[in-house]
């Protein structure tokens, strides 16, 4: 009888993790007990482990149904790297390749077999599997079963015959996004017997959400890309033409980018996707046709250059960032025109019911864009859940990047009065033009330049007034009507005009991007230079093996290496995400690289890191938060790094990271008292002639006479000066 303890041994041996993530344990217990289940876990929440780990521990072979060949290939490559025998059968393989896999199945050499749903159309294939000892059946991307899901696939309906064809085998459905209606439909269509319904939190605390009105797409996108140089980024556009135009512009500016949309040939799409996965390019610019088959864990940013048509789509698309659990940015640039585009597309929907559902979802998406509440709270509330606390510390609202405008009532009254004086017959763009004092011929011909509200906001850019109008719509003070989105003052709007209610309008100032708490915590104790060196080593090894870099090791594993800095292979096994198979393959190579780096920069090794289990992690976060806050207070007094390290009981290298965070947070433009004036001047001169983000070259150019920490502190100050 296989127990949970047996699965934990497997988890440590093959994946290098000490414990399960939230809900994984209950999902695995369902598998071990033979009870059907439906498991809803967010992207990056560890769905695959729920069926892969018990499949290794149980006798027999698990069947995994997956919708895309690329998704199967990624997961199988990862399993093989972890020392687990796995294979797939799909249409891209030759007869010889499929025969070889069938032979391995007969010899009972495989623990997991990935197949597409179309395979179950063949009675012969089902009869073959009926002669195999099957441990469990897992259905990945299970929302495809339901017509109510956002990615329905008719071939998934055939999976309803699984319970009849394999009566003694439990079936487990996994997906990241499914409303209650979809969950019920999954159970019904798959004929699951009293399935255990396990629903994790829809929140992705490692994602930093930001929403901005679209003004200059290229400039705004480049601002994000420049924060993620040499990192993987996905950019979504609504239309194919936008993909081609933006991708061409980025390439012209020197970015490594590739396009992806349905207008390209299958070979062209495959080449772009492979280039992105293999890190030949950093950026993929795509329509929503891209992404479902991507298991890439180290995407550090997802950018939407237009408003998605639903929060379900946004949750899944933005969820492709930070699958490794590390911090990642999700930027949404939108305009009111996006709403009109989607509404027009939806008008061609076949049934009235489908159109009404789509429009309801579009309105919820619009409310999210115009809202001023915590982004994390807004998303989980949409899916019927709540979050504890009021400040997530990981979105533009909670980070204080969005500030309320002083005099919001007076500004709103001017805008609403203008709508009234225009007899509620014009759209937002025209209204903004009147308020801005435009000399547009339409305004002059209609004599709207004689209105008392004409030019009331002429001291501000028209785009700012336009933004405020959208905010008033989003907060329910104005509404749009008809095909031309004519503005009307609502009942709440009239209360504003009478001074009985005050709306919340945003400051038009340029946003200042702040470091989130989740990002600061994830870099806790990590040596940035060592992390970059290990990234380079990983890239070389992945290229040599013709696999994606993240399959060799995730970014999370590399950061833990750069945090622990092990000097032996035994110590290397303590790194989160390093199992025995990977330690045998890569241990000597990575430990040697860590030894050389630590010797060059006089760094301590074999750093003891607190246990990272669930309870330990919670305790660690609270302790770290206290240590960090205490350190901030001491930095404000000008106390040295060494003294702060002693007072907060942290390593000096950790305190330097606190200091860099403090410098960024406070916007300090002087390195004193932590770096003396002479050393700072030398660093500034060398940094001006080199890439200021590469610490190693600066250190070597100064002949090792200035410490590595002094360089990092100085660079943080220089970055503030450039803002």
- According to DSSP, residue 335 is labeled -
First to last CA, the chain: 62
| DSSP states along 11-27 | IIIII--SSPPTTHHHH
Average pLDDT over residues 182-193: 88
Average pLDDT over residues 273-298: 83
Q: Residue 334 CB: number of other CB atoms within 10 A?
A: 22
| DSSP states along 431-483 | HHHHHTT---HHHHHTTGGGSTTTTTTTTS-HHHHHHHHHHHHHTTSEEEETT
39-48, 414-423, 609-618 — which one is most confidently predicted on average?
414-423
Task: Output the pLDDT for position 331.
Answer: 96
Banded pLDDT at 719 (limits 50, 70, 90): confident
Q: Which two tokens stand for residue 352?
A: 């009235």
* Predicted confidence (pLDDT) per residue in 212-254, tens digit: 888 789 999 999 998 898 899 999 999 999 999 999 999 999 9
Task: Output the pLDDT for position 696.
Answer: 66
Instruction: Look at 518 and 489; give whichever has higher pLDDT.
Output: 489
Q: How far is CA 142 from CA 43, 69, 495, in A?
A: 13, 16, 47
Judged against a pLDDT cut of 70, whether residue 101 lies above it is answered with: yes
Task: Output the pLDDT for position 508.
Answer: 63
- According to DSSP, residue 395 is labeled B
Of the ranges 347-361, 475-489, 617-631, 663-677, which one carries the lowest mean pLDDT score? 617-631
Q: How far is CA 554 from CA 23, 27, 575, in A?
A: 22, 24, 11
Q: How many residues does the chain have?
A: 723
Banded pLDDT at 349 (limits 50, 70, 90): low
- The answer to whether residues 560 and 524 touch, using CB atoms and an 8 Å cutoff, is no
Instruction: Look at 582 and 470; give whichever has higher pLDDT.
Output: 582
Contact partners, residue 523, CB within 8 Å, separation at least 6: 559, 657
Task: Output the pLDDT for position 618.
Answer: 40
For the chain, the average pLDDT equals 86
* Predicted confidence (pLDDT) per residue in 374-397, tens digit: 899 999 888 878 888 778 889 988
pTM above 0.85, yes or no: no
Handedness of CA 150, 287, 336, 392 (dihedral sign): positive
Residue found by looking up tokens 């009234």 in the block: 420
* Predicted confidence (pLDDT) per residue in 419-453, tens digit: 999 999 999 999 999 999 999 999 999 999 999 99
- Which residue blocks in 215-351 are alpha helix, DSSP H? 217-227, 240-252, 266-277, 311-318, 336-346
Banded pLDDT at 643 (limits 50, 70, 90): confident
Q: What structural domains does the chain harbor?
A: 4-199 (3.40.50.300), 207-382 (3.40.50.300), 408-497 (1.10.10.10)
Banded pLDDT at 525 (limits 50, 70, 90): confident
């Amino acid at each position: 009888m296989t127990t949970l303890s047996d699965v934990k041994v497997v988890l440590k041996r093959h994946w290098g993790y000490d414990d399960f993530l939230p809900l994984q344990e209950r999902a695995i217990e369902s598998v071990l007990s033979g009870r059907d289940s439906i498991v809803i876990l967010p992207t990056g929440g560890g769905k695959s482990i729920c069926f892969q780990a018990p499949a290794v521990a149980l006798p027999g072979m698990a069947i995994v149904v997956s919708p895309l060949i690329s998704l199967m290939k990624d997961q199988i490559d990862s399993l093989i790297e972890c020392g687990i025998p796995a294979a797939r059968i799909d249409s891209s393989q030759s007869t010889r390749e499929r025969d070889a896999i069938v032979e391995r199945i007969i010899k009972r050499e495989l623990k997991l077999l990935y197949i597409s749903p179309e395979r179950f159309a063949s009675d012969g294939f089902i009869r073959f599997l009926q002669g195999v000892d099957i441990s469990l059946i897992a259905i990945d991307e299970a929302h495809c079963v339901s017509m109510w899901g956002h990615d329905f696939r008719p071939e998934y309906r055939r999976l309803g015959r699984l319970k009849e064809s394999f009566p003694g085998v439990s079936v487990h459905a996994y997906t990241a996004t499914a409303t209650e209606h979809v969950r019920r439909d999954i159970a019904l269509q798959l004929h699951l017997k009293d399935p255990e319904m396990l629903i994790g939190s829809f929140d992705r605390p490692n994602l930093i959400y930001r929403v901005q009105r679209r003004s200059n797409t290229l400039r705004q996108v480049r601002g994000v890309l420049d924060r993620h140089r040499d990192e993987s980024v996905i950019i979504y556009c609504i239309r194919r033409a936008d993909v081609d135009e933006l991708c061409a512009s980025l390439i012209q500016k020197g970015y490594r980018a590739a396009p992806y949309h349905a207008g390209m040939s299958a070979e062209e799409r495959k080449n772009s996707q492979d280039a992105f996965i293999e890190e030949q390019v950093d950026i993929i610019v795509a329509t929503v046709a891209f992404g479902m088959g991507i298991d890439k864990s180290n995407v550090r940013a997802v950018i939407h250059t237009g408003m998605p048509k639903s929060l379900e789509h946004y949750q899944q698309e933005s969820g492709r960032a930070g699958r490794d659990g590390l911090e990642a940015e999700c930027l949404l640039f939108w305009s009111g025109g996006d709403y009109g585009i989607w509404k027009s597309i939806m008008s061609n929907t076949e049934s009235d019911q489908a159109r009404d559902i789509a429009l309801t979802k579009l309105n919820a998406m619009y409310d999210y864009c115009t809202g001023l509440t915590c982004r994390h709270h807004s998303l989980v509330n949409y899916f019927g859940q709540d979050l504890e606390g009021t400040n997530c510390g990981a979105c533009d609202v909670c980070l204080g990047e969005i500030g309320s405008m002083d005099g919001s009532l007076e500004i709103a009254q001017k805008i609403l009065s203008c709508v009234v004086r225009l007899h509620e017959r014009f759209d937002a763009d025209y209204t903004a033009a009147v308020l801005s004092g435009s000399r547009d011929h339409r305004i002059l011909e209609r004599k709207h330049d004689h209105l008392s509200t004409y030019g009331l906001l002429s001291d501000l850019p028209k785009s700012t007034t336009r933004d405020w109008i959208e905010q008033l719509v989003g907060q329910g003070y104005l509404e749009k009507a008809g095909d031309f989105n004519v503005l009307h003052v609502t009942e709440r709007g009239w209360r504003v005009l009478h001074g009985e209610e005050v709306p919340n309008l945003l400051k038009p100032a340029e946003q200042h991007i702040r470091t989130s708490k989740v990002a600061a915590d994830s870099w806790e104790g990590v040596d940035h230079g060592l992390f970059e060196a290990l990234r380079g080593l990983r890239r070389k090894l992945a290229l040599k093996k013709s696999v994606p870099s993240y399959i060799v090791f995730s970014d999370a594993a590399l950061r833990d290496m750069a945090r622990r800095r092990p000097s032996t292979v035994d110590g290397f096994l303590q790194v989160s995400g390093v199992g025995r198979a990977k330690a045998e393959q890569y241990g000597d190579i990575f430990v040697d690289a860590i030894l050389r780096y630590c010797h060059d920069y006089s760094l301590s090794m074999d750093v003891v890191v607190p246990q990272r289990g669930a309870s330990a992690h919670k305790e660690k976060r609270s302790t770290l938060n206290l240590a960090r806050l205490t350190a901030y207070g001491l930095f404000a007094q000008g106390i040295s790094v060494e003294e702060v390290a002693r007072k907060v009981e942290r390593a000096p290298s950790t305190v330097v990271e606190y200091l860099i965070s403090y410098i960024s947070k406070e916007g300090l433009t002087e390195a004193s008292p932590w770096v003396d004036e002479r050393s700072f001047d030398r660093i500034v001169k060398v940094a001006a002639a080199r890439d200021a983000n590469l610490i190693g070259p600066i250190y070597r150019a100064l002949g090792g006479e200035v410490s590595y920490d002094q360089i990092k502190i100085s660079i943080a100050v220089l970055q503030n000066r450039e803002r």
